[in-house]
């Protein structure tokens, strides 16, 4: 034990805290200063995939209002709240924070709608269906941290601990009626999971904390953002929510976290009271009806879908034409998106197998794009530019 490191058992005293890891895919020596899960926090926040979350949709496409949330804001909210709950429960705060920061790292551009667009592409492609039956951001998130995410000029793959990887792939999927989360199978083979129904609950209490807080963090903030975007008015929010939880998002989150802490303290599961659970599910239903499917939220859905599909078709053609950029294009006026795509393929040398289809390479590249880069790439490839 390094003289500079505190013992995790002293920092996170609960007998249910996860203070040892099952390890990493590639073994590494211990760090002299940091715990294993603290190292994961740093691997995540220094990765390019994490940084791109600042320009990925939470609910609204590339908002110009700086106070409306992006995907980056959401994961920071989740990580902060998860650390608070973990501290009160004596659980491993570093693990909770790491899972919170990385849980949405697999999100495509245009948020949940983007997932559906990519699922449509997969459904039409026999080769892609061999790798994934659909595009689920939590399952794809494991692919991102294992194979794609990189820290600047380092080799792709973050080599995270098993517990953080489990928290990523298992962070969503219930029916929105669950008020008690019991840790799941600690022996599941994460890399073999291809379908959301097989992810189960997270294997750690810290992962269960993130899974529940994920909903707490987005439902109240999405209401705040919808009011700012003038999709709904404050008086439209159901009265039982504002009277029992509070009007402002801070009060709402505080009420939920207080319930989670009280209901979970000293127990082998993470829970929320029946009353708060019902209110949480009521908020989610309200958001689905009046925010997520509103005209402002879905007004450019068709355009976004066509943009993704056309980009996929064009980039796939370029990938095949150049034999994954092994052949010189012979064109001095190469579009910038092709140059960046070529850099991506170069960075991923040794990651893709020869048997991996070009379709998978293109899907990975598009899934990692930000909303703004998708739009710029589309304009560059398909919108005529002035020639003189």
Q: What is residue 61's predicted lDDT score, i.e. its pLDDT?
A: 82
Residues 166 and 196 in one domain: yes
Residue 374, domain extent: 301-382
Q: Give residue-wise pLDDT tens across range 253-278.
A: 999 999 999 999 999 999 999 999 99
The answer as to whether 372 is a domain residue is: yes
Residues 174 and 163 in one domain: yes
Residues 6 or more apart whose CB falls under 8 angstroms from that of 292 comprise: 59, 112, 222, 298
Residues 234 and 180 in one domain: yes
The answer as to whether 118 is a domain residue is: no
Could you give the number of structural domains in the chain?
2
Q: Whole-model pTM?
A: 0.96
Q: How confident is the model at residue 174 (pLDDT cuts 50, 70, 90)?
A: low
Q: Which of 298, 324, 346 is the last residue in one of the domains?
A: 298
Residues 6 or more apart whose CB falls under 8 angstroms from that of 205 comprise: 16, 17, 18, 89, 91, 183, 264, 268, 269, 270
Q: How far apart are CA 207 and CA 385, in angstroms?
A: 49
Residue 62 has pLDDT above 90, yes or no: no
Residues 100 and 192 in one domain: yes
Residues 6 or more apart whose CB falls under 8 angstroms from that of 385 comprise: none
Structure tokens given for 41: 């926090």
The answer as to whether 134 is a domain residue is: no
Residues 269 and 327 in one domain: no
Tokens 């909903």 — which residue?
A: 215
- For residue 48, count other CB atoms closer than 10 A to its CB: 14
The answer as to whether 110 is a domain residue is: no
Q: How far apart are CA 219 and CA 129, in angstroms?
A: 32
Higher pLDDT, 305 or 5: 305
Q: Give residue-wise pLDDT tens across range 71-125.
A: 999 999 999 999 999 999 999 999 999 999 999 999 999 999 999 999 999 999 9
The answer as to whether 135 is a domain residue is: no
Q: What is residue 64's predicted lDDT score, i.e. its pLDDT?
A: 72
Residues 284 and 306 in one domain: no
Q: At what angle do helices 162-169 and 205-228 cross, to 10 degrees?
A: 50
Higher pLDDT, 40 or 330: 40
CATH number of the domain where residue 44 is located: 1.10.3210.10
Q: How confident is the model at residue 387 (pLDDT cuts 50, 70, 90)?
A: confident
Q: What is residue 287's predicted lDDT score, i.e. its pLDDT?
A: 93
Average pLDDT, the chain: 93
Residues 352 and 238 in one domain: no
Q: Which of 250, 280, 298 is the last residue in one of the domains?
A: 298
The answer as to whether 132 is a domain residue is: no
Residues 283 and 378 in one domain: no
Residues 263 and 215 in one domain: yes
The answer as to whether 167 is a domain residue is: yes
Bridge partners of 180, per DSSP, are: 271
Higher pLDDT, 2 or 313: 313
Q: Give residue-wise pLDDT tens across range 220-265.
A: 999 999 998 899 999 999 999 889 998 889 999 999 999 999 999 9
Residues 59 and 187 in one domain: yes
Residues 276 and 370 in one domain: no
Q: What is residue 1's predicted lDDT score, i.e. its pLDDT?
A: 59
Q: What is residue 2's predicted lDDT score, i.e. its pLDDT?
A: 74
Residue 331 has pLDDT above 80, yes or no: no
Q: Which of 251, 278, 298 is the last residue in one of the domains?
A: 298
Residue 356 has pLDDT above 80, yes or no: yes
Residues 271 and 373 in one domain: no
Determine which helix (DSSP H) or strand (DSSP E) holds 181, and give its type and residue range: strand 180-181
Q: What is residue 178's predicted lDDT score, i.e. its pLDDT?
A: 82
Tell me if residue 210 falls in helix, strand or coil.
helix
The answer as to whether 292 is a domain residue is: yes
Higher pLDDT, 39 or 330: 39
33-42, 56-65, 141-150, 154-163: range with lowest mean pLDDT: 56-65
């Amino acid at each position: 034990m390094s003289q500079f490191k505190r013992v995790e058992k002293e920092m996170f005293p609960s007998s249910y805290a996860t203070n040892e890891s099952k390890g990493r895919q590639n073994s590494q020596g211990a760090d002299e200063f940091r715990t294993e899960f603290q190292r994961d926090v740093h691997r995540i926040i220094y990765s390019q995939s994490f940084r791109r979350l600042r320009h990925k949709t939470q609910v609204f496409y590339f908002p110009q209002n700086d106070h409306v949330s992006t995907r980056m804001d959401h994961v920071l909210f989740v990580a902060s709240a998860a650390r608070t709950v973990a501290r009160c429960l004596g659980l491993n705060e570093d693990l909770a924070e790491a899972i919170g920061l990385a849980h949405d790292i697999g999100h495509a551009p245009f948020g949940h709608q983007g997932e559906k667009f990519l699922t449509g592409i997969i459904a039409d492609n026999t080769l892609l269906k061999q790798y994934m039956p659909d595009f689920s951001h939590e399952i794809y998130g494991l692919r991102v941290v294992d194979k794609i995410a990189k820290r600047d000029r380092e080799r792709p793959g973050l080599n995270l601990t098993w517990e953080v990887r489990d928290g990523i792939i298992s962070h969503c999927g219930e029916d929105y009626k669950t008020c008690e989360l019991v840790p799941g199978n600690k022996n599941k083979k994460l890399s073999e999971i291809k379908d959301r129904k097989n992810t189960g609950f997270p294997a750690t209490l810290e992962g269960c904390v993130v899974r529940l807080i994920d909903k707490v963090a987005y439902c109240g903030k999405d209401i705040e953002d919808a009011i700012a975007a003038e999709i709904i008015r404050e008086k439209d929010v159901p009265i039982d929510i504002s009277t029992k939880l509070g009007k402002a998002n801070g009060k709402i989150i505080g009420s939920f976290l207080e319930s989670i802490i009280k209901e979970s303290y000293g127990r082998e599961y993470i829970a929320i009271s029946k009353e708060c659970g019902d209110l949480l599910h009521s908020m989610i239903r309200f958001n689905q009806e009046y925010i997520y499917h509103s005209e402002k939220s879905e007004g450019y859905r068709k355009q976004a879908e066509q943009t993704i599909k056309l980009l996929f078709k064009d980039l796939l053609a370029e990938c095949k034409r150049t034999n994954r950029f092994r052949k010189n294009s012979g064109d001095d006026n190469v579009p910038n998106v092709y140059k960046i795509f070529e850099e991506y393929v170069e960075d991923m040398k040794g990651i893709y197998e020869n048997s991996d289809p070009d379709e998978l390479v293109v899907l990975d590249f598009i899934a990692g794009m930000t909303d703004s880069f998708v739009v710029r790439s589309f304009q560059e490839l398909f919108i005529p530019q002035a020639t003189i």
